[in-house]
Amino acid sequence: MSTEMLGLVLLGALLTGIFVGFPIAFTLIILAVVFGYIGIGPTVFYLMYFNTIGLMKEEVLAAVPLFVFMGHMLEQAGLMERLFKSFQFIFARIRGALFLGVLLTATVFATATGIIGASVTVIGLLAAPAMMKAKYDVALSAGVITAGGCLGILIPPSVMLVLLGPVLGVSVVQLFLAAIIPGLILSGLFVFYTLTRCYINHDLGPRMPEEDRPTSMMQIVREFVSGIVPLGVVIFASLGSIIAGLATPTEGAAMAAMGSILLTLVYGKLNWTNLKMTGLKTLQTSSMILFLAVASNIYGAVFARLGTASLITDTLLSLALPPMGMLLMLMAVIFILGWPLEWPAIILIFVPIFFPVIQELGFDLVWYATLVAVNLQTAFLSPPVAMAAYYLKGVAPDWPLGKIYRGMMEFMILQCVGLAIILLWPGTALWLPRVFFGN
């Protein structure tokens, strides 16, 4: 068997292996090691090491434990309850009030983070307990949290766009600008879809019980001030300093973590037990996320080393298609690759392989990059290897993975609608860059 075919078997083995139910990180590693050993020999062990140390050197990923810490710390401060009480109060008369709250928070939070893990984790920590308490539909709740949290990777600042810029030889600043409107379009689609469904089926996001509704305007104002404003200050401290250029995303995340400690102090809840609990939870959550990232990097590297990646691409390019047909085809391929593979693997391995084709066909690269980014964002929502699901499961262990998957699938379809909009109206991506840079 050729090594390329071996890679295809590896892909199949992964899907089987994952469903057996062993921790996915270890499944990825052992499959990579076994197939890598058959295909390329004992050097696969070093391949494993180099990918691990490489990920450990990714300074920007240091923002993951920091944002996780912020979420857990604010949870210890009891801020989550206040925040969601506020949202319950403010939107209480609307069906699906918490959904709306999550999506609005997620959209705002997306401007504070460039990393998907942190967004889903923090938003999951904020929202999942409140949704469980309010007897919200689990699948729709999970969909809203994961889809909302994934906006963080698209709406700038975005680690994905920072990586994508150099790969396509496009200015990252232009990519940031290009992603803003598509991000807002997606957010709008999510809100519209969720509220419509709640309106049709009242059980999905029940109205708040009478006793939970505000009795006066003053009450709403008080809830707002005590519940939302403090978190706003912390997020503003991190986002504000990142956007204003005072800090890198990692530094901004550290300041957010520091802000969360100070806030806990102000609320009178800061003590060693709380700090220890926060520290331990942060360690567990970030080890889970980042160790899995290590594992998928190793898996992706073996897949590339076996040459299967190139085999798939060569086959594609041998097809004769009109430009728009080829673009749609590449989008479909990236979408399909997003199921088993993580986005860094796709950006680093497949996007460069498609690059000559896109150049040849003369498509605008900023537009193409935006399409790729939105497309890859759907990969986070595509089970079974869907990081967003794992991040959420990490913070909401009571929700069955099956329901999380189902909710995500619905929003994955909405993502595809968003992708179609950007495909049909390139102006959605290109207008802002043109305003700032001309042409």
Partner 1 sequence: MGEPSKELEPPKALLKIVRFIDTYIGEWSGRIFMLLIFPLIGGLTYEVVVRYLFNAPTIWAYEFAYMVYGAHFMLGAAYCLKKGGHIRTDLLYDMFPVRWQGRVDAVLYLFFFFPGMIYFFAAGWVEAFHSLSIMEHSEQSPWQPLLFPFKSAVFVGAALLIIQGVSEFLKSAYAGLRGKWL
Partner 2 sequence: QPQKAMAKPITLTMQATWPAGSTLYDNFLMYAKQVKEMSGGRLIIKTLPAGAIVPAFEVIDAVSRGVIDGGHAWASYWFGKNKAAALFTGGPGGTFGMDFTDYLGWMYEGGGLKLYTEFYQDILKLNVVVFPIMPAGPQSFGWFKKPIKSFDDMKGLKMRVGGLAGIIFTRAGVNTVNLPGGEILPAAERGVIDAGEWVTPGEDMKMGFHEIWKNYYLPGMHENVTVAEILFNKAVWDKLPKDLQAIARYASISTFILWQSWFIKYNAQGLKDLVEKHGVNVQRTPDDVLYTFLKNWDAIAAEEAAKNPFFKKVFQSQKDYAGLVVPARMFMFPEYKFAGEYYWGAAKK
Binding site residues, partner 1, CB under 8 A: 17-27, 29-30, 33, 45-46, 48-49, 52-53, 55-59, 61-62, 64-66, 69, 241, 246-247, 250-251, 253-255, 257-258, 261, 276, 279-280, 282-292, 384, 390, 393-394, 400-402
| Distance in angstroms (rounded) separating the CA atoms of residues 437 and 173 | 10
Q: Which of residues 183-242 bind partner 2 (CB under 8 A)?
A: 242
Report what 393 binds from partner 2, Na ion, partner 1, none; CB cut-off 5-8 Å by kind: partner 1
Return d(Cα 40, Cα 306) in angstroms, integer: 7
CB of 1 to partner 2, least distance (A): 16
The DSSP symbol for 207 reads: P
Q: How far is the CB of 146 from partner 1 (least distance, A)?
A: 14
CA neighbor of 292 nearest in space, from 69, 55, 19? 55
Tokens matching residue 302: 């073996």
Tokens in use for 74?
Answer: 């604010």
Q: Which is nearer to partner 2, 165 or 338 (CB)?
A: 165
Q: Identify what 22 binds: partner 2, Na ion, partner 1, none; CB under 5 to 8 Å per kind.
A: partner 1
- To partner 2, the closest distance from the beta carbon of 164 in angstroms equals 8
Residue number with CB closer to partner 2 (181 or 358): 358
43: contact with partner 2 by CB under 8 A: yes
386 near Na ion, rule: CB under 5 A: yes
Q: How many other CB atoms sit within 10 Å of the CB of residue 312?
A: 19
- Rounded Cα distance, 364 and 345, in Å: 23
Spatial distance between the Cα atoms of 355 and 407, rounded to a whole number of angstroms = 33
Residue 296 exposed, middle or buried by CB count within 10 Å (0-12, 13-18, 19+): buried
Cα distance between residue 209 and residue 415, in whole Å: 33
In angstroms, rounded to a whole number, what is the distance separating the alpha carbons of residues 358 and 348? 16
What residues numbered 77-96 form the site for partner 2, per CB under 8 A? none
304 binds, among Na ion, partner 2, partner 1, none (CB under 5 to 8 A by kind): partner 2
Among 64, 349, 395, 432, binds partner 2 (CB under 8 A): 349
In terms of C-beta density within 10 A (0-12 exposed, 13-18 middle, 19 or more buried), how is residue 132 classed? Answer: middle
- The one segment of 226-234, 301-309, 314-322, 386-394 that binds Na ion by CB under 5 A: 386-394
Residues 233-252 interacting with partner 2 (rule: CB under 8 A): 242-248
Peptide bond connecting 157 to the previous residue in cis, omega within 30 degrees of 0: yes
Residues 154-183 that bind partner 2 (CB under 8 A): 157, 162-163, 165-174, 176
Q: Which two tokens stand for residue 351?
A: 């996007």
As given in the structure block, the two tokens for residue 408 are: 């995500």
- Report the site for Na ion in 110-139 (rule: CB under 5 A): 110, 114
Considering only residues 146 through 165, tell me which ones interact with Na ion, judged by CB under 5 A. Answer: 152, 155, 158
Chain contacts with Na ion (rule: CB under 5 A) = 110, 114, 152, 155, 158, 338, 379, 382, 385-386
